Amino acid sequence: MAFGVALVGAGIYPKQTYLSPLHSVDAKLVAVYSRSRKSAADTAEEAKELDGFVSSNFELYHEERSGPGLDDLLKREDVQAVVISLPTLVQPALALKALAAGKHVIMEKPIAKDVQASEALIAEYEAKYKPKGLILSIMEQYRFDEGHDKARQIVTDGTIGQLTAVHGRIWNKVSPGNKYYETEWRKKPEYQGGFLLDGGVHFVSLIRHVAADEVVETVSFAKQTLDYLPPLDTIQAGLKLKSGALGTLSMSFASAKREHSYVFIGSKGSLNVTCGPQGTKLVVEDDEGKTIEEESIDRSNTYKNLFAAFFNGIETGKEDERGTPQQALADVAVVESVCGGGGQVKYYPGI
């Protein structure tokens, strides 16, 4: 079944990242909304390059004086699902508005600015819209990465024994001119952590997904290193997992040294996970440091897997656990904990 899809938000990321995967899962693009007509039109032109992707009833929506706006888009009966990619602070209200119009919703991470706002969104969704069979999903693509799934299998099938420690090192430097930095809402974030929230939920989700475990307590130091990355850009944290495993999370968006790696240590060996543009590299070592398995896994199907899971959930009436709001809330809860100096994590699934 081809679902009619509307894009709400037509920035750089949705234009470059969503269109081809949506086309590959046989969605039909029936509408694009943006504040400006030009950005909506630019995204539409990209979409038209994909054969058969744009519906014959396609239309642009924007907030300029001449032309239909978001309310008009949400009245369309041929829009079954809305894909939202907008600033963190405005997404929850728009998600609820789309759900109230009877649309299934998949929205960008993070789910909201903090635990309280995330819980409020989930409570309203579960009270009003989930009983109607509507799905609210969060686009945390790290849970749909095939390399991360293979890493999870290695951890859970006993290859490295019982998990005892997890260490994440995510170091990068965001500078003026970076396409993600050059958005006003990221330059002056009105939410905790800045890039530590916006990007940090990815890295927390990877740790939780691969470990098949939950972070239940943290201790941390956090600071702002670069004056153009408020309110924080660097954290060094200790982690305690539900299973009793311990770990560390070193995350900075102000680092002259670049790295994106994780180590999962078990009683019989370890798994090293390195993420890069070319894919996810997995190296399994025994307890003497000898490599016993090595594999690089392509990441190109990640968004295809994500959207396929979302539409399958609509079709079957059963949401995919990897995209649930509760999973996204758990990511935000860990980030909130480490940004605030640590303590008991306020939420994790099954609490």
Where are the chain's structural domains?
4-140+306-314+318-322, 142-301+327-344
Is 142-301+327-344 a CATH 3.30.360.10 domain? yes
60 has a pLDDT exceeding 60: yes
Q: What confidence score (pLDDT) does residue 180 get?
A: 80
pLDDT (tens digit per residue) in 217-229: 999 999 999 999 9
Do residues 82 and 18 touch, judged by C-beta distance below 8 A? Answer: no
Instruction: Kindly state the percentage of the chain with pLDDT values over 70.
Output: 99
Neighbours of 312 (CB within 10 A): 13
Average pLDDT over residues 166-191: 89
Q: Which two tokens stand for residue 313?
A: 């959930």
Instruction: Kindly state the percentage of the chain with pLDDT values over 90.
Output: 88
Non-local (6+) Cβ contacts of 144 within 8 A are 302, 303, 305, 306, 309, 322, 323
Q: What confidence score (pLDDT) does residue 1 get?
A: 66
Q: Which two tokens stand for residue 280?
A: 């996810």
pLDDT (tens digit per residue) in 303-335: 999 999 999 999 999 999 999 999 999 999 999
Non-local (6+) Cβ contacts of 342 within 8 A are 217, 218, 219, 220, 237, 238
Do 4-140+306-314+318-322 and 142-301+327-344 agree at the fold level?
Answer: no
pTM: 0.96
Assign domain 4-140+306-314+318-322 one CATH number from 3.40.50.20, 3.90.1750.10, 3.40.50.460, 3.40.50.720.
3.40.50.720
Tell me how far apart the alpha carbons of residues 232 and 38 are, in angstroms, rounded to a whole number. Answer: 34
Among 81, 135, 139, 147, smallest CA distance to 296 is for 147
pLDDT (tens digit per residue) in 229-248: 999 999 999 999 999 999 99
What average pLDDT does the chain have?
95
Q: What confidence score (pLDDT) does residue 190 get?
A: 86
177 has a pLDDT exceeding 80: yes
Tell me how far apart the alpha carbons of residues 32 and 140 are, in angstroms, rounded to a whole number. Answer: 22
